[in-house]
């Protein structure tokens, strides 16, 4: 049984990951959103906002085997309507929030001997898309952070990988999928003709946190219905 921290477990990908992993592992869940369904998951839950709270009052296990950092943002606007504050907010939640968690938990992760960190990028970091300038910039930073930390932490046997989804049916994306017409248009943009769901992303996350992925580090895994690599 592993000790795994999931930040952003209140909904979407983080929530689905917590459900999957809690069947066989000890989960410490952190989220600013206290989803009532969290009570059905066997884990220790802490209500925290990564942007404003610290973790000093959380008793983490001395040895941690995994960390998934799932908070994110979807801030889509024309470039001339994006403010410096928009860029700063997206960078803070996607990059600095991950940095904050990793620095806090690194001593515990080092004690595992086979720890894994999973971060989240986006298809927009690899594929240029209009109105994605702010989120794409921050997600590119996540990919750079992933590779740098994978190199730096390899001596401590800590693996670091990232998952880069396309549009996924989660509460975060609800405004982009709020009508049947929007769902159909989003589906048709993907070679596989549908949007993804949170459980699919969560299962890849669970694999990367497992011993089955023990020779994988420094990678960014696209899970995007073929959008980043296929042109039909």
Cβ atoms of 60 and 112 within 8 Å: the answer is no
Chain segment 196-212, per-residue pLDDT in tens: 899 999 999 999 999 99
Distance, CA of 67 to CA of 64 (rounded, Å)? 8
CA distance between the termini of the chain? 44
Segment holding 135, helix H or strand E: helix 133-153
**What is the phi/psi pair of residue 217, to 5°?**
-155, 155
Distance, CA of 93 to CA of 91 (rounded, Å)? 6
Segment holding 86, helix H or strand E: helix 84-91
What mean pLDDT value characterizes the chain? 93
Helix (H, G, I), strand (E, B) or coil at 93: helix
Chain segment 81-113, per-residue pLDDT in tens: 999 999 999 999 999 999 999 999 999 999 999
Chain segment 1-13, per-residue pLDDT in tens: 999 999 999 999 9
- Two tokens at 12? 């979407």
Residue with token string 């001339």: 80
How is the chain split into domains, by residue range? 3-170+197-223
- Two tokens at 189? 């943009």
Considering the segment(s) 3-170+197-223 as one domain, its CATH architecture is 3-Layer(aba) Sandwich (3.40)
CB proximity list for 173: less than 8 A, separation 6 or greater:
74, 167
Q: Average of pLDDT values for 65-76?
A: 92
- Two tokens at 103? 């620095």
Chain segment 107-166, per-residue pLDDT in tens: 999 999 999 999 999 999 999 999 999 999 999 999 999 999 999 999 999 999 999 999
Question: Per-residue pLDDT for 174 more than 70?
Answer: no
5 forms bridges with which residues in the sheet? 28, 67
27 forms bridges with which residues in the sheet? 4
- Two tokens at 178? 């709020």
């Amino acid at each position: 049984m592993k000790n795994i921290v999931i930040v952003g477990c209140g909904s979407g990908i983080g929530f689905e990951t917590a459900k999957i992993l809690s069947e066989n592992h000890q989960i410490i869940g952190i989220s600013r959103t206290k989803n009532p369904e969290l009570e059905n998951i066997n884990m220790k839950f802490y209500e925290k906002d990564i942007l404003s709270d610290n973790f000093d009052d959380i008793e983490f296990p001395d040895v941690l085997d995994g960390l998934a950092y799932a908070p994110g943002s979807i801030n889509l606007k024309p470039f001339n309507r994006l403010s410096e504050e928009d860029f700063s907010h997206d960078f803070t939640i996607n990059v600095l929030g991950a940095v904050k968690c990793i620095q806090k938990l690194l001593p515990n992760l080092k004690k595992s001997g086979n720890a894994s960190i999973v971060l989240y990028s986006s298809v927009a970091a690899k594929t240029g898309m209009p109105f994605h300038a702010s989120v794409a910039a921050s997600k590119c930073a996540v990919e750079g952070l992933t590779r740098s930390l994978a190199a730096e932490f390899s001596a401590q046997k800590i693996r670091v990988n990232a998952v880069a989804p396309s549009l996924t049916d989660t509460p975060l994306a609800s405004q982009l999928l709020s009508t049947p017409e929007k769902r159909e248009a989003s589906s048709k943009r993907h070679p596989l003709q549908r949007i993804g769901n949170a459980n699919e992303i969560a299962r890849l996350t669970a694999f990367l946190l497992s011993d089955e992925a023990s020779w994988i580090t420094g990678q960014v895994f696209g899970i995007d219905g073929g959008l980043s690599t296929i042109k039909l």
